[in-house]
Amino acid sequence: MTQAKILDGKWLAELVLTDIASKVEKLTSSGKRPPGLAVILVGDNPASKTYVAGKHKSAKRCGFKTFDITLAVTASAEQVKQAILSCNENLEVDGILLQLPLPKQLQANPLLDLINPSKDADGLHPLNQGLLLRGEGKIRPCTPVGCMLLIDLAYSGVNVGQVATLSDIKPIDLSGKKAIVIGRSILVGKPAATLLLERNATVTVAHSKTADIASGCREADVVVAAVGIPEFVKGSWIKEGAVVIDVGINRLETGKLAGDIQFQEASARASAITPVPGGVGPMTVAMLMRNTLQAYHG
């Protein structure tokens, strides 16, 4: 039985935010304006409000200027469009985030497509997704990039909690390793698979029509689960020594949060594993800040 390294996303996100804050401090102390992040929230979904508050706090921590645009739950597509276009035109706004999900009268994709791709802090614009497939582009989807940094931490000699900087964690080459991504959404699964391929992993993508996901998992050196079903991946499916990344955030009837992976059982077999909460979630927010700084530099 192995003792898994717990991939503490809060700790790693703090390294990222510290790195960004020091870069922004250099910019502003030389007289340049700070990067600006605009967050558009439509409606009053409590979970969305909590996520937006977290993003706001991280943006402030980085020294960014923030622009909060809150629209009523009854907002029309035209009103959201105008909010996006005004952010596109605002020279102080470098990154734009349209918080999802949107109220049911609104379709997300046509609105996301209106965001200027060079200000697309979430990395979900079709142009940025296409560039990712080509192995190009600097603005990439936040959650999958956060997963990759957690995988880098897993393979690094860096221990969580030790004095470290972001530069101590190097991109890992996954040549010869097998990875499985469970889930094929545009938000997580597909870009995560692309990023793993880019690092030379041999990647399987599993989804709701896949037969025998357990067998695929048992062969995988890296497991990324983005399914949205609590404890979908059983501990017994995990290969000894695998690196296990749990993207899932599922609210149980008890009010507690659960991931997509049986944490206790999987951590008895994995070499490294993310907790839920406190794993991928904080990294997603940190990568949003990194994309905003990237957009600032153009």
Tokens of 104: 């049911």
> Of 68-76, 159-167, 195-203, 221-229, which segment contacts ligand NAP by CB under 6 A?
221-229
* Cα–Cα distance measured from residue 103 to residue 75, given in angstroms and rounded to the nearest whole number: 8
Give the torsion sign (CA, 182, 291, 20, 174): positive
Q: Pick from 228, 235, 257, 268: which binds ligand NAP (CB under 6 A)?
A: 228
Burial of 181 (0-12, 13-18, 19+ CB in 10 A): buried
Q: Does 226 bind ligand NAP (CB under 6 A)?
A: yes
| 96 C-beta neighbours (distance < 10 Å), count | 28
> Of 54-62, 120-128, 161-169, 202-210, which segment contacts ligand NAP by CB under 6 A?
202-210
**DSSP element (H, E) containing 286:** helix 280-297
Q: What string marks each residue from 120 to 159 as x (binds ligand NAP by CB under 6 A) or -?
A: -----------------------x----------------
Given a contact cutoff of 8 angstroms between Cβ atoms, the answer to whether 89 and 81 are in contact is no
In angstroms, what CA-CA distances link 295 with 37, 93, 97, 190?
10, 9, 12, 23
Selecting among 122, 152, 221, 246, the annotated active-site residue is 122
Q: Does 189 bind ligand NAP (CB under 6 A)?
A: yes
Q: What string marks each residue from 234 to 253 as x (binds ligand NAP by CB under 6 A) or -?
A: -------------xxxx---
Most distant CA pair in the chain, distance = 58
Residue number, 15 or 280, with CB nearest to ligand NAP: 280
Specify whether 5 is catalytic. no
Shortest CB 119 distance to ligand NAP, Å: 20
Catalytic residue numbers? Answer: 55, 99, 122
Residues that bind ligand NAP (CB under 6 A): 143, 182-185, 187-189, 206-210, 213, 226-229, 247-250, 280-281, 284
